[in-house]
Amino acid sequence: MIKIVEVGPRDGLQNENATIPTETKIAFVDALSESGVSEIEVSAFVSPNMVPQLKDAATVFQNIRRKKGVVYSALVPNEKGMENSVAAGVDKISVFTAASETFNMKNINATVADSLRRFKPVLKQAKTLRMPVRGYISTAFWCAFEGKIAPATVVELAKQMIEMGIDELSISDTIGKATPDEVGSLMDAILPCVPVERLAVHFHDTYGRGIANVLKSVSYGIQVVDASVGGLGGCPFAPGATGNVATEAVVKALTGAGEEVTVNIEKLIHAYGIIASYLPTKQHRRPAPDSLACATCPFFDGNKCCGKYG
C-alpha cells in the first residue's frame, strides 16, 4: 500500500502572502484527517520573520482533532524549534538540508556540513523522546542556482543522514525539473545504499512531470509519496518553483496504475475547499489528469471545464 504524506498545510501554505486565519488552518487539517492520508505535515516551528504564515504553528497543533492512525508532523530547524514542537504535541519531526551548497546558503544561511551539525542536538532530543525523524534532501535533482545535481552527491548526503539516525529521507525535486529518467538514475544509485523502506519522494510539478516522476519512483518500490492537495505550494527560496504535485492527481494516477491507496478524493476536494477562498487564482494552474483541477476550482459547475484556469 502506498502511504500519502499530505504536505499542504506546511509546504503548501508557507509561500502564500495572504494571511490565512488560524481557525481556517485548523479546519483544513481536520478535513484532511478524514481523507485517508497517512501523515499530515501540519506546520513548521521556524522563525516568524522568515515564514510569517506559519507563526501560529503551536496554536494549530494544539487545536486540531487528531484522528487515530494519522501522524501529525512538523518541520523544525533547530533546538528551539524542537522544544516548541514537543510542547505542542508533535508526533514526528522533519529536518532539512539540500544537495546544493548555494541553495542551502540562500535557504538557511549554512553550508551542507553546517546544516548536518545543526541536526545533531535535535536528533539527540528526538531519540530520547522516541520521536521519529524525517530528513528532507532538497534540490536532489536540479538546483535553480547550480543546475544539475549529480546522483553521487545525493547518495553521499543520504548515507550521512542515515548514519546520523534519521529514520526517513524525503528525496525532493525542489524546482520541479526532474524527468522520469533522472528519477530512475537516482534510484539506481541510492537504493544499493539506503533501504527503500526508508525513502520517500517529494515532487513539484513545475514542468508537468510530477505524476510521471511519482509513478517512476513507485516502480522502484517507493511506498511513501509526498503531495499537496490542489497542487498548493512553492519554495520561497527557489526561484521558479511552483506547486507540489497535487494529492488528488497522485491518488488518481496510483489507483489507475493498480496501486493500493486508501485516500478518498472527494474528501480531499472538500478539504481544499476550506482553504481555496484565501488563495490567489495562480493556484489554479494546468488541469491535472482527467480534469481533477476542475474538481478543486470554485468556478466548476459540475458539468464541464469553464476554461478560466486551463
pLDDT, residue 234, reads: 59
Q: pLDDT under 70 in the chain at which residues?
A: 234-242, 280-310
Annotated active-site residue 306? The verdict is no
How confident is the model at residue 301, as a pLDDT?
Answer: 41
Domain boundaries of the chain, sorted by first residue: 3-295
Residue with grid cell 480534469, as numbered in its chain: 291
Going by C-alpha positions, the residue among 265, 274, 222, 223 that lies closest to residue 247 is 265
Tell me how far apart the alpha carbons of residues 192 and 189 are, in angstroms, rounded to a whole number.
7
Model pTM score: 0.89
Out of 143, 193, 235, 297, which one is annotated catalytic? 235
Cell readout for 120 is 545533531
Residue 242 has a pLDDT of 61
CATH says 3-295 is which class? alpha beta
In angstroms, the CA 32 to CA 267 distance is 7
One DSSP character per residue, 8-56 reads: IIIIITTT--SPPPHHHHHHHHHHHHTTT-SEEEEEE---TTT-GGGTT
Strand (E) or helix (H) holding 110: none
- Render pLDDT for 240-295 as a digit per residue (tens, 0 to 9): 456 789 999 999 999 999 999 999 999 999 999 999 888 865 444 433 333 344 44
Residue 284, burial from CB neighbour count under 10 angstroms (0-12, 13-18, 19+): buried
